[in-house]
Amino acid sequence: MEQPIYILLGAGALIVIAALFLKQRSPKAEASGTLDQKEIERTLQRFVSQIKQENEKVRAELRQTKDEMASELAALRQELEQAEARYQALTVQVRSLGERKQATEEEETRAEDQSDILALRERYRRVFELKGQGLSLDEIAKTLGAGRGEIELIVSLASPAERGAEHE
């Protein structure tokens, strides 16, 4: 791009020199001046044609660069779309795994609660049997040889369903 500027500056300088040269000529040299003038015109025409050729080359290079950039941009856009699609798919998978994990944890918690209830029930089965027979907490404590506070704690830790099941 800088070469055409230098070429144009050189052409301008040549034209100025030629104009000064023609102006300072004497009338004697007019006969030889017509030959020099024709030679200068041919030189200028060659110079103009060279400048046109250089401009065409620069235009062709710019077009080629523009086409390359457009194809590269299209490829980058396609890669971006693919990356976005992968991101969306991974996001869906992460959500799905999170939901499954949460459901599994809830099931495990329920199973642990059930096992805790069964363990409590088995361990203190005799307390619940006596409670089911209608004995008071004091009577149960005396029968089992345990403290009233311990029996109250055992009964209070039992779920309402267990307490109701013992009365049936």
CA dihedral 40, 42, 48, 51 (to 10 degrees): -100
pLDDT tens-place string over residues 14-26: 888 888 877 776 5
pLDDT tens-place string over residues 78-121: 999 999 999 999 999 999 998 888 888 888 888 777 776 776 66
| Average model confidence (pLDDT) across the chain | 82
Write 130-137 long-range contacts (CB < 8 A, 24+). 131/155, 131/163, 131/166, 131/167, 132/166, 132/167, 132/168
Q: Please, is 146 exposed, middle or buried when counting C-beta atoms within 10 Å of its C-beta (0-12, 13-18, 19+)?
A: middle
Cα–Cα distance, 67 to 1 (Å, whole number): 18
Crossing angle of the two packed helices 2-23 and 30-123, in degrees rounded to 10: 160
